[in-house]
Structure 1
Amino acid sequence: MRQATTPAPESGSAVLWPLDVTMMRTSARHLLAEDAELPSDEALDTLVLQLRGHVMLAIPFVEALAARLPEGDLPRACALAGISEARTRLGLEPRHALPARIAHAQRLARSVTALCDHYENLGESRP
């Protein structure tokens, strides 16, 4: 796996630093790998907080990269759809049962992975 070298997009007057997609993908893999072990209650809570943070951090980066592409561009549309789905997942509250909490965490992990993919793909396609 390679480290993203995409230059950071600008947000207003502040420059954002590049995302650490390797670390973000590693966090997501804790729940998505075929051989993933079931986390403890406390570990699951921590992982959900970490994944939520990754999603909240990645969204502005992917939005900024997508905004540089023309309207109607397919990679732009895919990225914006991924952002919309990630925002929806951030707004969901799982039931208290462990299976529901794990399913919620896995959905967040899939959003993290998708946002990392969009970040890398849009960064590589920049002019």
Structure 2
Amino acid sequence: MDTSLPKENANRRAIVVALAVLLVSFLVFVGIYQIRHSDPYVQSVLSLGGDASRGQVIFQQNCSVCHGLNADGRVGPSLHHVASRKSRIGLIHQVTSGKTPPMPQFQPTAEDMADLLEYLESL
């Protein structure tokens, strides 16, 4: 008795499901990418050159209570090498969203955010 036909159908189904999952994942990724890159605030931040010295002052005034005066961590994690773990857009969303409790939502001006980004990238 030949059992290759049911096995072949199961293999085809598995391939179709895998392709469907890949397609949906790709579409979700593209959608998120489009949303993030079409955000006017993000675009204005990315169009500016930041000043790390000003960014350090902004950090010390707003972030150092949790992340430490030298960004080496306290309540919040150390931010040294954070730019190697998060993209510029990811950092902007992390700072402005407040979606990681207990981190509060912070809405700096585009210029202040560009300065803060420059400082974070220097750590």
- TM-score using structure 1 length: 0.29
Larger radius of gyration: 2
